[in-house]
């Protein structure tokens, strides 16, 4: 194909992959749920090359699917199965940290930088890039921003969006929007960068970002707590929030989730025997060594035990124990995947509604699919609970379970929305939640989104078949 020769001319033949075997990993998503074969995988190494690839692909009528670490959970970084001919534009070679200014508490990273690399660079400068989640060793800055990722520290520092000072973006017509500034205050018109954050590659390609850093944490304390109910967990949350410490993580996990982690995790050791219905992982921190964090946590937990909001608790005694608590949480998605077929959701509700949400969903799922096993785990401190319905033990036919429990996702989404929540908390829409956009997204908002898409990408070449219903 002539167009592929042109693309190979821009990035170099070695960086324009067309061999079937090499295309394979780019043709399927992390969960193995979404497949679509690209014509080529193109790997530019500079902004100019990205712009050249976008222009050449557009001229040849090829759609462009941007790809970062390909850890997304919504099927957004693979071409659609029956879509137009596409290339995957992988940002992996655009991976320099262009600048780090510790006094400015900022860092400029290219889109293909792995999130963990950015965290390490910040740490070496005595700063913290505070976003954190299980796929951070593979996910890239461009993917993190395009999905507006959350993770376990959202309750303290917000989603990815809140850590962005400026962006550099290649638009669908090949122009470069250079808004890569580190200035904290700028009210000169519309905040255009926010269109691309969470845009899932449908409006342009992020090539670099100026990111906000925060002071490094000098003291951290974590605990693993057994609680009788989501309600009790919420009371415990209020207690630790009022303890005077910075609460940087508060996860709620059903016992079934911890059992899956214990069963399938490699080298995971549970801090407590798994005999309570629910567990909480809590982390508090301070940027100064003198803050009596340990006392604060002990006091909050003792009061929680006294009030029967907690039945047992372990405070990590060493860095290794602390790391183990969070490794259990971070390895959980992989462990759940190994348990067998499941239908999953990515809902958020106001924090105060978490217990009602979980209890209502549990009752409805039990009534409708008594044979299913409900897993509930999530970032309770920001209201984002992931509910899944697993097939009964021994059920291996994934398509059959997905068909059998297909109504689970709309049911859970509807409960979340009825409580003032969202059907898409942190993973994005991609292909997997387009149907829910049609059901739940405000029609005026959808109209505006379609108008913006038409204005920026009139030929519809950017990641077609994603986000918009």
Contact residues toward ligand FAD (CB under 6 A) are: 30, 65-73, 76-77, 91, 111, 133-135, 139-140, 142-144, 146-147, 149-151, 200-201, 205-206, 333-334, 426-427, 463, 466
- Give min distance, CB of 65 to ligand FAD, in A: 6
Q: Quote the least distance from Cβ 230 to ligand FAD, whole Å.
A: 19
- In the sheet that holds 86-90, the strands lie side by side as 16-17, 40-42, 86-90, 63-67
| Residue 156 or 239 with smaller CB distance to ligand FAD | 156
Residue 302 CB, shortest distance to ligand FAD, in Å, is 30
Nearer CB in complex with ligand FAD: 134/271:
134
Which of residues 128 and 232 has its CB atom nearest to ligand FAD in the complex? Answer: 128
Considering the complex, state which of residue 128 and residue 315 has its C-beta at the smaller distance from ligand FAD. 128
- Min CB(204)–ligand FAD separation in Å: 7
Alpha-carbon distance 238 to 352, whole Å? 10
**140 vs 422, beta carbon nearer ligand FAD:** 140
| Cβ-based nearer residue to ligand FAD, 315 or 333 | 333
The minimum distance between CB 36 and ligand FAD, in angstroms, equals 12
State in angstroms the smallest separation of the CB of 126 from ligand FAD.
26
Closer to ligand FAD by Cβ: residue 334 or 364:
334
Residue nearest to ligand FAD (CB): 143
Residue 8 beta carbon to ligand FAD: minimum distance, rounded to whole angstroms: 21
């Amino acid at each position: 194909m002539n167009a592929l020769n042109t693309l190979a001319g821009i990035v170099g033949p070695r960086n324009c992959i067309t061999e079937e075997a090499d295309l394979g990993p780019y043709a399927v998503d992390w969960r193995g749920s979404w497949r679509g074969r690209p014509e080529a995988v193109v790997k530019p190494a500079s902004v100019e090359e990205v712009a050249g690839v976008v222009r050449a692909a557009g001229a040849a009528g090829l759609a462009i699917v941007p790809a970062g670490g390909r850890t997304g959970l919504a099927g957004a970084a693979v071409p659609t199965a029956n879509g137009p001919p596409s290339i995957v534009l992988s940002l992996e070679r655009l991976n320099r940290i262009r600048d780090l200014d510790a006094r400015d508490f900022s860092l400029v990273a290219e889109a293909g930088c792995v999130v963990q690399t950015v965290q390490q660079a910040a740490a070496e400068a005595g700063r913290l890039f505070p976003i954190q989640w299980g796929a951070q060793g593979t996910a890239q800055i461009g993917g993190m921003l395009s999905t507006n990722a959350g993770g376990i520290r959202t309750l303290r520092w917000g989603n990815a969006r809140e850590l962005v000072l400026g962006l550099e973006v290649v638009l669908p017509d090949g122009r470069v929007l250079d808004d890569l500034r580190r200035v904290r205050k700028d009210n000169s018109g519309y905040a255009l960068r926010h269109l691309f954050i969470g845009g899932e590659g449908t409006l342009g390609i992020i090539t670099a970002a100026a990111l906000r850093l925060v002071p490094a944490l000098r003291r951290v304390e974590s605990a693993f707590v057994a609680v009788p109910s989501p309600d009790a967990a919420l009371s415990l949350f209020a207690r630790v929030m009022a303890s005077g410490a910075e609460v940087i993580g508060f996860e709620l996990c059903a016992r079934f989730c911890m059992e899956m982690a214990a069963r399938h995790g490699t080298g995971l050791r549970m801090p407590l025997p798994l005999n309570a219905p629910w567990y909480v992982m809590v982390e508090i921190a301070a940027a100064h060594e003198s803050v009596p964090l340990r006392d604060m946590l002990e006091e909050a937990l003792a009061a929680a035990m006294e009030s029967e909001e907690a039945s047992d608790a372990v405070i990590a005694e060493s860095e290794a124990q602390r790391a183990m608590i969070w490794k259990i949480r971070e390895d959980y998605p992989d462990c759940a995947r190994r348990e067998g077929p499941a239908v999953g959701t990515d809902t958020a509700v106001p924090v105060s509604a978490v217990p009602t949400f979980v209890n209502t969903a549990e009752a409805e799922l039990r009534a409708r699919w008594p044979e299913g096993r409900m897993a509930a785990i999530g970032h309770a401190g920001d209201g984002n609970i992931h509910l899944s319905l697993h097939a009964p033990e021994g059920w291996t036919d994934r398509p059959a379970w997905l068909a059998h429990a297909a109504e689970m996702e709309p049911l859970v989404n509807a409960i979340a929305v009825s409580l003032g929540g969202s059907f898409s908390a942190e993973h994005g829409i991609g292909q997997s939640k387009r149907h829910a956009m049609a059901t739940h997204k405000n029609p005026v908002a959808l109209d505006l989104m379609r108008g913006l898409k038409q204005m920026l990408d009139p030929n519809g070449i950017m990641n077609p078949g994603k986000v918009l219903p």
